[in-house]
Amino acid sequence: MLTKMKAKKRRPAAKRKPTRKLSPAQQRHAAEPRLEEIRFLQGEDSPAKETWRTFRIMSEFIKGLDKLNGVSRGISMFGSARLQPGSKYYELSRKTAHALGKRGFTVITGGGPGAMEAANRGAHEAGALSIGLNIKLPFETHVNPYVDITETFNFFFVRKVMLVKYAHAFIILPGGFGTLDEMFEALTLIQTGKISNFPVILMGKEYWAPLLDWIRGTQIAHGMVRVEDLNDVHLTDDPKQVVKIVQASWKRYLRDKKKELAAQSARTAE
């Protein structure tokens, strides 16, 4: 006798999760080998490789120092790589750098597009020395065409030292996390006396005013920051005002340097 076999019920096929579409920059990043700084910070290499990497870091410092040796009257300008030519803050960066360049100041940026390109472009158009210190990233890494001196770094911290070391003022245009990082790096070094008290000039009143209000209303109110820490922090949208602040700071620096050298000579003569 033939027995009927019960047909097994098929389970419904599991729905496939939609694949998240990667942006072109993310696709390039996924295809490329991991950046050296990622391997360094995540400790992915052997102790021997980590030790040898210190020589690579040292070589980046040496290259930067050699490339920028003799640079003076430097003004570091920071801002978003995403600003488009012709936009409000792109043109503000360009006009400010042009005005500074006309008065003999050197403009130093991160060398990329956006606000950095605008600043290098303004300096270049003014006939001033234009410097771009680039960083290897999965995106936004090309060097803009308006630089006279350029160097590319693997490590952010080496590049930040170079952006600070040769600067006598810091101009901060609207930007994201990287711009905030560079701004607070400068403020921290000034606050702790690691560098001279050079002006930090925020350009873009509408953009930066809420941050300054928070620092004054929260950090200072809670005693985390002193009022004096903001003595040489300025907020303006006027390139002429920027030039005035920078020139006054430069004269003060030269005067202080002269006094320091005179005091050293007096001590040597004793």
Q: Is residue 18 part of a domain?
A: no
Under 8 Å between Cβ of 89 and 83: yes
Residue 251 lies in a domain: yes
Confidence grade of residue 36 (pLDDT, cut at 50, 70, 90): low
In this structure, what DSSP letter does residue 173 have? -
Asked if residue 208 belongs to a domain, the reply is: yes
Mean pLDDT, all residues of the chain:
87
Count of structural domains, the chain: 1
Q: Look at residue 239 and tell me if it is in a domain.
A: yes
Cα(140)–Cα(144) distance, integer angstroms: 10
Instruction: Examine residue 22 and state whether it is found in any structural domain, yes or no.
Output: no
Stretch 82-109: mean pLDDT? 97
- Band of the pLDDT at 4, cuts 50, 70, 90? very low
**How does DSSP assign 190-256, residue by residue?**
HHTTSS----EEEE-HHHHHHHHHHIIIIIITTTSS-GGGGTTEEEES-HHHHHHHHHHHHHHHHHH
- The answer to whether residue 50 is domain-embedded is no
User: What would the mean pLDDT of 234-261 be, rounded to a whole number?
Assistant: 94
Domain that holds residue 231: 71-265
| CATH number of the domain that residue 184 is part of | 3.40.50.450
pTM: 0.81
pLDDT band at 7 (very low <50, low <70, confident <90, very high): very low
Residue 114 lies in a domain: yes
Write the pLDDT tens digit of every residue in 180-217. 999 999 999 999 999 888 999 999 999 999 999 999 99
Q: What is the pLDDT of residues 53-77, one digit of tens each?
A: 889 899 999 999 999 999 999 999 9
Is 138 a residue whose pLDDT tops 90? Answer: no
Residue 112 falls inside a structural domain: yes
